[in-house]
Amino acid sequence: MKLNKLFQGLKNIDHIVEGIKNKTFKKPWIEEIANHRWNICKGCEHLDTIGGQCAAPGTHPCCSDCGCSLGFKTRSLSASCPKGKWKAHVTAAQEAEITRKLSGASSADNDTNINVQK
């Protein structure tokens, strides 16, 4: 079962990288979202504080349902709870647009505003 969680985690590598980036380079509004999500996770029956169900060793606390590190997942604006307890704040398309803009790529839509739900 842990191997399945690892493969699932690899499918969500973009969310993981986004969470790591947001944990490393903290912004107050992202931390506010992460804290709100964490408060929900703390009361969830799937919270694994020991790490026995984490997809990657040493990344606890994690979700025993999906195996994701909550320190990263709660900071990924495009990630959502697999049990529906909290939702993504941006769509996959918006995430791609944000990434494109942050990377400095140019397009005719450079002036497009991206609304992130707080």
Indicate the number of domains in the chain: 1
Q: Which residues, 6 or more positions from 3, have their beta carbon under 8 angstroms from its beta carbon?
A: none
The domain in which residue 63 lies consists of 2-102
The most confident of 8-17, 56-65, 90-99, by mean pLDDT: 56-65
CB 114 within 8 A of CB 94: yes
Helix (H), strand (E) at residue 11: helix 2-11
Helix 2-11 and helix 13-24: axis angle, to 10°?
80
Kindly report the pTM of this predicted structure: 0.75
Containing 62, the helix (H) or strand (E) segment is strand 62-63
Say if 36 falls within a structural domain: yes
- Decide if 113 is inside a domain: no
56 in a domain, yes or no? yes
In a domain, 26, yes or no: yes
| Residue 114 included in any domain | no
Separation of alpha carbons 97 and 112, rounded Å: 9
Asked, for residue 68, whether it belongs to a domain, the answer is: yes
Of all residues in the chain, the percent with pLDDT exceeding 90 is 47
- For residue range 60-98, what is the model confidence (pLDDT) as tens digits? 999 999 889 999 999 999 999 999 999 999 887 787 787
